[in-house]
Structure 1
Amino acid sequence: MTFIDTILAHYGWQGVALAGVMLTALCVQLYYFLFVYGRIPSYRIGRRPARLREAPPVSVVIPMFSEDNAFVEQTLPRIVAQEYPDFEVVIVYVGSDADFYEDLVRLRHAFPCVTVTKIQLDPRFPISPKMALNVGIKSAHNEHLVLTTTDAYPLSDRWLSLMAKGFMRAEVVVGYCGLEPARGIGNYLMRAWRMMHAADWLASAVKGRPYRGIRHNLGFTKTLYFGANGFTHLNMNIGEDDLFMQKIMTPANVGVVLSPRAALCEKTWGGLGWWTRTVRFFDAAKPYYPRWVRTYVGWEMGSRLLFWLAVACALAVMPWEYKIGAGALLLVRYGVIVWQVRRIARRLGERRMCGRYFLYDLLSPFYALLLGVLNLRKDERVWR
């Protein structure tokens, strides 16, 4: 009797098939974490050929859709205090409060680099972020633009200089924006979801297959913007950081700025319920992604779910030596992943991500399935 016949006699074809599923899923997982996400910690934008001799003047464009005093008092001072010699801040206020607008205009006395323009709010004609950005981009005086939002703030005074230096080697620059840390498992899961989903598009951009940025921390040139005739998908209230970026991004024109000093932090406005509504809103753009992007993202999540289910089945019904083997594979996978997650988090400026990562690792595939079910129903907030 051959070795294979012995294995089949002892475990049956079901046991052999289960082992095959575990090993295949494990190989896919190790490929992603070692060879795909592993590009992030080792990436250096300085390896790209230079297109400019020095960092250019930059315009930071920020849409504002409410009378946001917290932004004016807390976030704006962090932006205007950036250690960069030549930049302007263009604020596009969408509202109807004349007194608040006058206060914004007077900011120029304290911060000469700030320019404010206004779009009168009319309930009959809702203004989308793309429309506000259109006005801000046309009002900007510089060729190189960095877009951000009132919900995000820089983590250091080097953010803008690093993004501007990215323009020395690329026409499109993309950076990272995490979520504001707070107490609780819910906040941790939200932060882990943001970091690991950012790892998907950051790693792809590093490889030379860019497909998106993040609306809080990205930049491009006016030439690219007007060459593409402005933002796409104008019937949607989303898409400026992915659907439009897919139109202007090429393997040769994108630079990724990866540094804790170049990262931003987005404020959170609730727990998992708020986060689910937010993710569902922006996920409405994903059906319009190229097929290769959806396949690339889906393989990691799908192989992880398959691996978890196969290991659970082995631990539940197979003999003790089979269980030991399945447990060993589980430990190997988790060891590799925690090691790589620590490296990624350090590069992106995230803290305290590894200790509870097993929770995200286990729960996120089921959360993705929940989002898929929720997205079967059309989100009316998306459409104009």
Structure 2
Amino acid sequence: MHILLYIFIGLAAIQFVYYLGVFGKFAFAKAQKITPKRIPISVIVCAKNEEENVVNYIPLLAEQNYPDFEIVLIDDASTDNTLEIFEQFEKQYPNVRLVKVENNEAFWGNKKYALTLGIKAAKKEYLLFTDADCYPTSKDWITAMSSQFTMQKTIVLGYGKYEKIANSFLNKIIRFENVLNTVQYFAWAKLGHPYMGVGRNMAYKKEEFFNVNGFIDHMQIRTGDDELFINQAANGKNTTVAYTPESFSYSKPKTTFSAFFNQKRRQIATANYFKSIDQLRLGVFYGSQLLFVLVATVLLAFQFEWIIVLSIFVARYVVAWTVIGFAAGKLKENDIKLWFPVVEIVLIFTQVNAYFTNLFSKPIHWK
């Protein structure tokens, strides 16, 4: 049992390093300021069978308060009325550009192929991405995201929020998991080791796309137009983050646990293609998180040095709770802070379940 206690102390130390040394880099960072720039921007939206969403959300993009931008709408061989709606928008708004993608036998159903065509069609040098089921939190979204570009920083990682659903515990789980993921990739980016971003809200200069030959190195992988691209193209010199409230985007969360679970499976499957060092960093965090809970449970069950064990256990949760609380405040997700201990346990075992499920079957990807 003494060996188990030493292992427990080591796991706690790892968790303290991650929460204070890594995640704290974002959680305790100074508030960010918006310094408006007049960079020409192409907002890129790829849609496949999204007629209900694009009717509501594309006008919000067209109404952005920004001096020089276009909207590139990509219809990825939709079978509903998405294309017809896009054609109406092209007539209605002078700065809307439409890209029609037909099914290609070599790249059938591959979002990366559709995005590649849209990126090539974009007339501006700076590209801002969001999804068809997303909408900006303000009319200054483009201003807030583009304000973080500099001569050196040509990749900007933004935050994609999920809508709140009242009296839904699943919604709290989804939003907490989203905050935790964001804290991680924001913090590592601020430390000079960016490893992913989300297509719901990210931007980069077009040359970054061509510098790595676009998605060619992972075109055969259905997911990762955002995560795998950033994992390949981003580095400490060219990447920054945007976290002013005006820079956020919103999207609708999953409403069933099975849908959320499948989303987790896709995320884990995509992470398997990250650089080895990024997989190691993520693996050490999630592995130590799981083992910390399991080993603590065993030690407390046998009441072995229970005062020491309980003290370390509580200290870890106080530190983690504090860091996540500050980070959630920056991301305007204050209501999820109170649920931290319960939601974390649920997420730990959901993560483990999704990982082992992926060993026996492949998750479903782009529509």
Could you tell me which residue of structure 1 aligns to residue 70 of structure 2? 88
Shift in Å, 1:274: 0.2
Aligned 1:163-182 pairs, distance under 5 A: 163-168=145-150, 170-182=153-165
Where 1:298 maps in the other structure, the secondary structure is: helix
Shift in Å, 1:349: 2.4
Could you tell me which residue of structure 2 aligns to residue 237 of structure 1? 222
Does residue 317 of structure 1 match 2:292? Answer: no
Q: For the Cα contact (< 8 Å) 1:171–1:254, is it kept in 2?
A: yes
Aligned match of 2:268 in 283, 305, 313?
283
Q: Encode CA deviations 1:260-302: one digit per residue, 9 max, x unaligned.
A: 2211122124321001112212322222212211111122222
Could you tell me which residue of structure 2 aligns to residue 184 of structure 1? 168
TM-score, length basis structure 1:
0.86
Q: Distance in 1 between the 2:181 and 2:349 partners?
A: 15
Question: Could you tell me which amino acid in structure 2 is paired with residue 39 of structure 1?
Answer: K
Does residue 253 of structure 1 match 2:238? Answer: yes
Aligned match of 1:306 in 291, 294, 316?
291
Judged with a 3 Å threshold, the aligned counterparts in structure 2 of structure 1 residues 280 and 105 are, in CA distance, closer, same or farther, namely same
Shift in Å, 1:378: 4.2
Could you tell me which residue of structure 2 aligns to residue 332 of structure 1? 315
Aligned match of 1:56 in 34, 39, 62?
39
Shift in Å, 1:352: 0.8
Q: Distance in 1 between the 2:173 and 2:22 partners?
A: 22
Question: Could you tell me which amino acid in structure 2 is paired with residue 126 of structure 1?
Answer: W
Shift in Å, 1:21: 2.4
Question: Could you tell me which amino acid in structure 1 is paired with residue 297 of structure 2?
Answer: A
Could you tell me which residue of structure 2 aligns to residue 375 of structure 1? 358
Q: Distance in 2 between the 1:383 and 1:100 partners?
A: 16
Shift in Å, 1:371: 1.2
TM-score, length basis structure 2:
0.90
Could you tell me which residue of structure 2 aligns to residue 5 of structure 1? none
* Identity fraction in percent: 25
Shift in Å, 1:334: 1.5
Could you tell me which residue of structure 2 aligns to residue 296 of structure 1? 281
Judged with a 3 Å threshold, the aligned counterparts in structure 2 of structure 1 residues 98 and 206 are, in CA distance, closer, same or farther, namely closer
Q: Distance in 2 between the 1:284 and 1:68 partners?
A: 28
Shift in Å, 1:160: 1.2
Does residue 353 of structure 1 match 2:339? Answer: no
Q: Distance in 1 between the 2:212 and 2:63 partners?
A: 33
* Consecutive unaligned residues in structure 2, runs of 5 or more: none
Where 2:272 maps in the other structure, the secondary structure is: helix
Judged with a 3 Å threshold, the aligned counterparts in structure 2 of structure 1 residues 122 and 312 are, in CA distance, closer, same or farther, namely same
Q: For the Cα contact (< 8 Å) 1:153–1:264, is it kept in 2?
A: yes
Q: For the Cα contact (< 8 Å) 2:27–2:330, is it kept in 1?
A: yes
Where 1:93 maps in the other structure, the secondary structure is: strand
Where 2:147 maps in the other structure, the secondary structure is: helix
Aligned match of 2:99 in 113, 117, 122?
117
Could you tell me which residue of structure 1 aligns to residue 346 of structure 2? 363
How many residues align? The count is: 363
Q: Distance in 2 between the 1:266 and 1:67 partners?
A: 13
Shift in Å, 1:313: 2.1
Runs in 1 of length 4+ with deviation above 4 angstroms?
44-47, 96-100, 121-125
Could you tell me which residue of structure 2 aligns to residue 199 of structure 1? 183
Q: Distance in 2 between the 1:301 and 1:106 partners?
A: 47
Q: Distance in 2 between the 1:306 and 1:290 partners?
A: 24
Could you tell me which residue of structure 2 aligns to residue 215 of structure 1? 199
For the aligned residue pairs, the C-alpha RMSD in angstroms reads 2.6
Shift in Å, 1:141: 0.9
Question: Could you tell me which amino acid in structure 2 is paired with residue 332 of structure 1?
Answer: A
Could you tell me which residue of structure 2 aligns to residue 343 of structure 1? 326
Q: Distance in 1 between the 2:135 and 2:238 partners?
A: 26
Does residue 38 of structure 1 match 2:21? Answer: no
Higher mean C-alpha displacement, 288-297 vs 260-269: 260-269
Which protein is bigger by CA-based radius of gyration? 1
Q: Distance in 2 between the 1:171 and 1:125 partners?
A: 28
Shift in Å, 1:249: 1.3
Where 2:76 maps in the other structure, the secondary structure is: strand
Q: For the Cα contact (< 8 Å) 1:237–1:381, is it kept in 2?
A: no
Shift in Å, 1:179: 2.2
